[in-house]
Amino acid sequence: MSEFKSGFVTVVGRPNVGKSTLINYMVGEKVMIMSDKPQTTRNKIRAVYTDKEAQIVFIDTPGIHKGRSKLSDFMQSEIDGALEEMDVLIFITDEKNKLGPGDKYIIEKVREMAIPKIALVNKSDLYKENEAVEEEIRDMNVFSDVIRISATTGKNIGRIVSFIKENLNEGPQYFPEDYMTDRPEWFVISELIREKALLTLEDEVPHGVGVMIEKIEERKNKNMIDVYAVILCERKSHKGIIIGKGGSKLSSIGKKARIDIERLLGTKVYLNLWVKVNKDWRDNEKMLKELGYKSW
């Protein structure tokens, strides 16, 4: 009987190249939120893939960027922490553009790390093959291989899993087989709401949006859970945009989020959602911790 393997795989890349989409596909469950807005992922989140041969703990990191708030400092510390605890590293970019300064910064940051490293060029389903990107990555002599993938359709995902398994050592099963993420249920719910806000709102609002879960309550004698949540924003003008004319935007966010929350909890959900202004929440350490922006 072959030995059981386990280990930690960190996924790095600039914002919006498909890190969270890739991990969701590989785990088979939506544990990471996705949008085309910068700073969609703010925390270092672990997602768990388990089969008969191995348990792979994926660590999704915030896209590397420059910021000027305590939230940005927290996001950078999450990236640094993820780079310290990995057994295998996955670097991901996409077919759309040639390597930019952000890509090159990440590659140089991991160059000297003495662990197996692989590069992925994502979104092959959306864009024409960009051979220049692949050649440039290969010429940098950092990665064992460069693979073109689609994190949406699953193209070449099997090759990634095979590479990871080949480079993991024998180890224990850290989490139960049905375990998907290390984050508590309330945190995943807040992230699902934030995702729908990111997808619904104008470009100038999402960076300053956070979601606080006030209460999760199961109704007695009913197959129903009440979720009370607050969307935080930094300006009164943003509050108006989030609510929308006649409450249309907030209603849309709530309806979309409720569908995913019901799928997560396996029961009907009544989502109570409202909006509050808190000008400096991104620089308020106490509030950041309450929102889940802390190490677990």
Residue 90 lies in a domain: yes
pLDDT score for 140:
93
pLDDT score for 34:
44
Name residue 233's beta-bridge partners: 277
Residue 295 lies in a domain: no
Give yes or no for residue 125 having a pLDDT over 90: no
Tell me what percent of the chain is helix, strand and coil, each rounded to the nearest 5: 35, 25, 40
Q: Are residues 82 and 154 in the same domain?
A: yes
Give yes or no for residue 38 having a pLDDT over 60: no
Q: Are residues 19 and 161 in the same domain?
A: yes
pLDDT score for 74:
45
Q: Are residues 74 and 197 in the same domain?
A: no
- Can you say which residues are annotated as belonging to the binding site for GTP? 13-20, 60-64, 122-125
pLDDT band at 19 (very low <50, low <70, confident <90, very high): confident
Contacts of 190 (CB under 8 A, 6+ apart): 211, 212, 213, 229, 291, 292
Contacts of 231 (CB under 8 A, 6+ apart): 193, 194, 197, 209, 210, 211, 242, 250, 253, 273, 274, 275, 276
CATH of the domain at 101: 3.40.50.300
Residue 129 lies in a domain: yes
Q: Are residues 219 and 98 in the same domain?
A: no
Query: Please, what is the average pLDDT of the chain?
Result: 81
pLDDT band at 41 (very low <50, low <70, confident <90, very high): very low
- Please state, in angstroms and as integers, the Cα–Cα distance from residue 11 to each residue in 58, 151, 218, 257, following that order: 7, 13, 36, 26
Q: Are residues 80 and 9 in the same domain?
A: yes
Judged by average pLDDT, the poorest of 129-133, 144-148, 160-164, 204-208 is 204-208
3-class DSSP assignment, residue 291: coil
Q: Are residues 134 and 59 in the same domain?
A: yes
Q: Are residues 128 and 191 in the same domain?
A: no
- Report the alpha-carbon distance of residue 56 to residue 161 in Å, rounded: 9
Q: Are residues 22 and 75 in the same domain?
A: yes
Residue 174 lies in a domain: no
pLDDT digits over 70-105, tens only? 444 544 455 455 455 689 999 999 888 788 888 888
Residue 20 lies in a domain: yes
Residue 176 lies in a domain: no
pLDDT score for 275:
94
Per-residue pLDDT averaged across 102-121, rounded?
88
pLDDT score for 31:
60
pLDDT score for 207:
65
Q: Are residues 96 and 190 in the same domain?
A: no
Total count of domains within the chain? 2
Residue 173 lies in a domain: no
- Report the alpha-carbon distance of residue 55 to residue 33 in Å, rounded: 22
Q: Are residues 133 and 205 in the same domain?
A: no
Residue 122 lies in a domain: yes
Task: Supply the pTM of this predicted model.
Answer: 0.64
3-class DSSP assignment, residue 155: strand
CATH of the domain at 225: 3.30.300.20
- Can you say which residues are annotated as belonging to the binding site? 13-20, 60-64, 122-125
Pairing label, strands 210-218, 224-233: antiparallel
pLDDT score for 77:
54
Give yes or no for residue 45 having a pLDDT over 60: yes
pLDDT digits over 250-285, tens only? 999 999 999 988 887 878 999 999 999 888 777 777
Q: Are residues 215 and 274 in the same domain?
A: yes
Domain that holds residue 246: 185-290
Percent of the chain with pLDDT over 90: 32
Which candidate, 85, 89, 111, places its Cα nearest to that of 167?
89
Helix axes 248-265, 185-200, angle to 10 degrees: 140
Q: Are residues 200 and 128 in the same domain?
A: no
pLDDT digits over 211-265, tens only? 989 999 988 877 899 999 999 888 888 899 999 999 999 999 999 999 988 887 8
- Domain boundary residue, one of 166, 194, 209: 166
- The strand order across the sheet containing 45-50 reads 45-50, 54-60, 5-12, 88-94, 117-122, 146-148
